[in-house]
Amino acid sequence: MSIEAREARQPWILLAPALTAIGLLLIVPLMFIIVYSFWLRSAAGADTPGFFFDNWIAALTDRFYRDILLNTLKIAAVTTVACAVLGYPAAYFIARSQGNKLILLVLLMLPFWISYIIRTMSWINILGVSGALNSALIWVGIINEPIQMLYNETTVILGLVHFLLPFMVLNIFVSLDGIDTNLEDAASSLGATRWQGFLQVTLPLSLPGLAAGGLLCFVLAAGTYITPVILGGPRDAMFANLVYEAIIRQLNWPLGSALSLLLLIVLGVLVLIYNRYLGMAQLAKGLG
Amino acid sequence: MDDTKRYERLRERLQNGDISRRKFFGLLGAAGAAYGLQTPFAKQAFAADVTQVRFDGWGGVVSEAFRKYAFDPYTAKTGIKVIDGTFPGGDEYLAQVRASQPGEYNIAHLSGVFDYARYASFDLTSELNLANIPNMANVMPALMNAFKSITPDSLSAAPYDYGTTGLAYNRKYISDDEIKEKGAKILIDEKYKGKIGGWADWRTRLWYAALQTSQDPNDIKDMDAAWDAVRKNRDLLLKYWSSGAELMSLLAEEEIYVTEGWSGRIYALQEQGHDIGYYDPPNSFGWQECLFVIKGSPMAACEELLNFMLDKDTSIAVAEGQSYPPALDPTKVDLGDKIPKLPAFDPTGTLSGLTFANPAYWNGNEAAWSEEFGRVQRGY
């Protein structure tokens, strides 16, 4: 075998384990889900194999699914904006801090050592009727009766921001850390104020990191299931909750498959748009 | 020759230069692939020689009691291990079982006769040989008959315990007289807006809607009125709870003053010192739990384990642990001092005072009503 042929084969040999894992654990199950989405659930509960469009027609035309999908995208967007606003100053502070950068990064990663569910449930002890905040407000004398702060859309967004903020900070940090600080000094020497230097030099250069963090936060928020269950009120549901209910509660796997594919397609389109304008390389850098 | 010896010989041939490294790795890969392909079928072959039985239940104190009084003595006698798994709810578990290989799951602590019927509709039933389960003779016939109405020719499960889903209320805000006067309608009382809880379960919601609209829960004639009651309840709710732990937390923290709740969980709250009342309104939701043997399981081993679990000492320990009365007939078996004080306990052994869900009626409407509740729950 020639050296060229051997070199051409080498990447495929190295990629083979990863491709096999992706094929078996992602592509094959996805194929099953696609096939399932065209089946029907009979009244008795068992599935009816075949090629029916009923689930897709319901998923695409029913106002119920459309409204919840739009609400899910709205919640994901609000969460992403909140993470960006809160995360940028934190990332900037870490990137520009001297000497204790590593400690700050470790502190940023600390929440990941605690289960996501536990972190979400901690808000019940903070915002609950007999929680820390209400107790403190009553003790100070600001209120006489506890305020109902939990179980609404705001607390769902709060829980999501709590969960996703580190992802945003890390992505922006990676971007800011790669910017040569001499550029800010150069802007200052040319007469720019610190604020102008930030707006015209640092911020534009860090936008890819902001966008990568935004994409991650948006996709993770849009696919969340547990936060609305723990912190949401009676009407607060996101699209993943509908998938769960269709598959687990109603045992309607065909409809659940169609709904999950619909969410996958919507989020996939967003990723493609991101890739078209910014490229996936920035996302990989942020995750690395 | 065993596999280890075979691999050692192969490695020796490589070291001696008898085979190339490429051939060595090729043979290893082929062996791995062959093992991967044969394993699912090997499992069936191994089933003939039973070494373990899998049991899935609700975990916690129930699981501990089973381990101490049934699983360990059973293993000591038979040499068969019991793999103890837990599940968060019957729906989730059924989804897992449906996605599994036959024989992967064996015995489950299922809830409700409608679960029995659902397993039957998915062709997951087995056929118990009652001669191998002598302790079944102590079980209340009323509980057995419910299963026999679904599979008349055989049984796939042993009844194990029962309870009710009644009204739980905080006595600091709601008196015993008020709850008796208002009954199920207290869950749609504007006075408690934002302080009412409710289980996110379509059956329970519709059952209570039937009571709130003065209808028979097992034969709801005016569905529009029932759905309107579900909507009214939704608009007054603080939260739909989804687990027993969440139910207890909401009541104990005074986030809610009233909800429907599971008798055993409310009893546990009372035991902890919370002033929570429990009241079963007329036609309160009665249910029973069973030990269901899933199709494809090693039957003789499972039947013997069921017999251990139905033993008087095990049943009483589990009942005291989970605060639900056991399925044992109190007219035949002395159940001790604590069990007669548990909510929903029936000293007659006939259970004539409890109303159970008619499985044919509820399962027949499951597809439509569960989907409709999903919409109503979200404000539609």
Establish if A93 belongs to a structural domain: yes
Flag whether residue A68 sits within 8 Å of chain B, measured between CB atoms. yes
Q: What is the pLDDT of residue B39?
A: 46
Q: How far is A66 from chain B (nearest CA, A)?
A: 12
Q: Does residue B1 carry a pLDDT above 50?
A: no
Per-residue pLDDT, A98: 83
Does A127 contact chain B (CB < 8 Å)?
A: no
B232 and B201 together in one domain: yes
Q: Tell me: the pLDDT tens digits for A231-240?
A: 999 888 899 9
Stretch B145-159: mean pLDDT? 91
The predicted structure's pLDDT at residue B337: 92
Any idea what the Cα angle at residue B244 is, between residues A155 and A132, rounded to 5°?
40
* B370, part of any domain: no
Other CB atoms within 10 Å distance of the CB of residue B379: 15
* Amino acid occupying residue B163: G
Q: How large is the ipTM?
A: 0.78
Give the pLDDT band of residue B52 (cuts 50, 70, 90).
very high
Amino acid residing at A153: E
Flag whether A28 is in a domain.
no
CATH number of domain containing B267: 3.40.190.10
Buried b (16+ CB within 10 A) or exposed e, B167-191: bbbbeeebeeeebeebbbebbbbee
- Whether A39 and A54 have beta carbons less than 8 Å apart is answered as no
> In this structure, are strands B276-279 and B258-262 parallel, antiparallel, or unpaired?
unpaired
Asked if residue B376 belongs to a domain, the reply is no
Q: Does A45 touch chain B (CB under 8 A)?
A: yes
Q: Regarding predicted confidence, which is higher, B46 or A226?
A: A226
- Tell me which amino acid residue B43 is: K
* Chain B residues touching chain A at CB-CB below 8 Å: 91-92, 94-95, 98, 118, 121-123, 194, 198, 202, 234-235, 237-240, 242, 249, 253-255, 363-364, 366-367, 370-371, 374-375, 377-380
Interface contact A125, partner B, CB < 8 A: no
Contact A249 B242 (CB under 8 A): no
pLDDT at B43: 45
Counting one residue from A and one from B, how many pairs have CB atoms under 8 Å apart? 73
Strand partners for B288: B162
Show residues of chain B in contact with A251, CB under 8 Å.
91, 94-95, 98, 118
Q: Is A5 part of any domain?
A: no
Picking from B202, B234, B375, the nearest residue to A64 by CB comes out as B375
Residue A35 lies in a domain: no
Who among B122, B194, B239 is closest to A45 (CB)? B122
Does the distance separating the beta carbons of B253 and A235 come in below 8 Å? Answer: no
Residue A148 belongs to domain spanning:
55-287
Measured CA angle at B74 (ends B72, B80), to 5 deg:
95
Nearest CA in chain B to A238: B378
Average pLDDT, chain B: 87
- Burial of residue A4, with CB atoms counted within 10 A of its CB: 0-12 exposed, 13-18 middle, 19 or more buried: exposed
Q: Which residue of B has its CA nearest to A147?
A: B255
> CATH no. for residue A220?
1.10.3720.10
The three state secondary structure string of chain A is CCHHHHHHHHHHHHHHHHHHHHHHHHHHHHHHHHHHHCCEECCCCCEECCCCCHHHHHHHHCHHHHHHHHHHHHHHHHHHHHHHHHHHHHHHHHHHCCCCHHHHHHHHHHHHHCCHHHHHHHHHHHHCCCCHHHHHHHHHCCCCCCCCCCCCHHHHHHHHHHHHHHHHHHHHHHHHHCCCCHHHHHHHHCCCCHHHHHHHHHHHHHHHHHHHHHHHHHHHHHCCCHHHHHHCCCCCCCHHHHHHHHHHHCCCHHHHHHHHHHHHHHHHHHHHHHHHHCCCHHHHHHHC
pLDDT at residue B254, as a whole number: 93
Domain assignment of residue B20, given as a range:
1-32
Inter-chain touch B240–A64, beta carbons under 8 Å: no
- Percent of chain B scoring above 70 in pLDDT: 87
Q: How far apart (Å, rounded) are the C-alpha atoms in residues A163 and B67? A: 37
Give me the number of domains chain B comprises: 3
B188 plus B136 within the same structural domain: no
Structural domains in chain A (count): 1
Same domain assignment for residues B296 and B149: yes
B120 and B171 within one domain: no
Q: Are residues B171 and B235 in the same domain?
A: yes
Confirm whether B80 is domain-assigned: yes
Judged by CB atoms closer than 8 Å, whether chains meet at B242 and A229 is answered as: yes
Q: What is the pLDDT of residue B14?
A: 60
Q: How far apart are the first and last CA of chain B?
A: 67
Q: Is the pLDDT of residue B5 over 60?
A: no
Domain final residue pick, B286, B310, B328: B286
A52-90 as b/e: b if 16+ CB within 10 A: eeebbeebeeeebbeebbebbbebbebbbebbbeebbeb
Same domain (yes/no): B66, B110: yes
Residue A45 lies in a domain: no
Alpha-carbon distances, residue B352 vs B141, B142, B144, B263 (angstroms): 12, 9, 14, 18
**What tens digit of pLDDT does each residue of A188-199 get?**
999 999 899 999
Please list, in sequence order, all residues whose beta carbon lies within 8 angstroms of the beta carbon of residue A283, skipping any fewer than 6 positions away: A212, A215, A216, A274
Residues A153, A71: contact at Cβ < 8 Å? no
Per-residue pLDDT tens over the stretch B211-257? 999 999 999 999 999 999 999 999 999 999 988 888 999 999 999 99
| B322 falls within a domain | yes
Residues B88 and B57 in one domain: yes
Residues B78 and B151 in one domain: yes
Mean predicted confidence (pLDDT) in A203-218: 93
Quote the CA–CA distance of B197 and A168 in Å, as a whole number.
36
Are B176 and B277 in the same domain?
yes
Strands B285-293 vs B355-356: parallel, antiparallel or unpaired: parallel
Residue B234: the pLDDT is 96
Question: Is residue B72 a contact partner of residue B20, using CB atoms and an 8 Å limit?
Answer: no
Residues B62 and B135 in one domain: yes
Of B214, B118, B192, B198, give the one whose Cα is nearest residue B376: B198
A70, two tokens: 């739009």
Spell out which residues of chain B touch residue A232, defining contact as CB-CB under 8 Å: 239
Nearest to A234 among B240, B364, B375 (CB): B240
The HSE-up count of residue B105 (CA atoms within 13 Å, CB side) is 24
Which of B199, B213, B245 is CA-nearest to residue B86? B245
Q: Is the dihedral of CA B201, B243, B229, A67 positive or negative?
A: negative
Q: Do A44 and B121 lie within an 8 Å CB cutoff? A: yes
Q: Look at residue B243 and tell me if it is in a domain.
A: yes
Give tens-digit pLDDT for B313-358: 989 988 988 889 999 999 999 999 999 999 899 999 999 888 999 8
B253 contacts on A by Cβ (under 8 Å): 124, 128-130
Question: Is the pLDDT assigned to residue A286 strictly greater than 80?
Answer: no
pLDDT at A251: 83
Given an 8 Å threshold on Cβ–Cβ distance, is B363 in contact with A130?
Answer: no
Checking DSSP bridges between strand B355-356 and strand B258-262, what pairing results, if any?
A: unpaired
pLDDT at A143: 93
Instruction: Give every CB contact of residue A196 below 8 A, 6+ residues apart in sequence.
Output: A187
| Cβ contact B371–A148 (<8 Å) | no
User: Minimal CA–CA distance to B71: which of B262, B306, B230?
Assistant: B306
User: Do B150 and B167 lie in a common domain?
Assistant: no
Cα–Cα distances in Å, from B144 out to A58, A196, B147, B311? 41, 80, 6, 17
User: Chain B closest CA to A243's CA: distance in Å?
Assistant: 11
Q: Is the pLDDT of residue B47 over 80?
A: no
Residues B176 and B281 placed together within one structural domain of the fold: yes
What pLDDT, on the 0 to 100 scale, is given for residue B66?
Answer: 84
Average of pLDDT values for B270-290? 94
